[in-house]
Amino acid sequence: MQNFDEKQKIIDDEHLKLLSLFHYISGGLTLAFALFIGVYFFLIFFIISMAKNQQELDPKLNEALPEAFFGILLAVFVIIFVLGILFGIGQIVSGRLMKLRQMRWFSFTIGIINLLNIPYGTILGVFTIIVLEKDSVKQQYLAQIED
pLDDT digits (tens, 9 = 90+) for 75-111: 898 899 999 999 999 999 999 999 999 999 999 999 9
* Position 25 pLDDT exceeds 80: yes
Query: For the stretch 76-106, what's the b/e string if a residue is b when 16 or more beta carbons lie within 10 angstroms of its beta carbon?
Result: ebeebbeebbebbebbbbbbbbbeebebbee
DSSP class of residue 65?
S
Task: For residue 25, give the 3-state DSSP assignment.
Answer: helix
The answer, yes or no, to whether residue 147 has pLDDT greater than 90, is no
Whose CA is closest to 52, among 33, 68, 65?
65
CB 114 within 8 A of CB 90: no
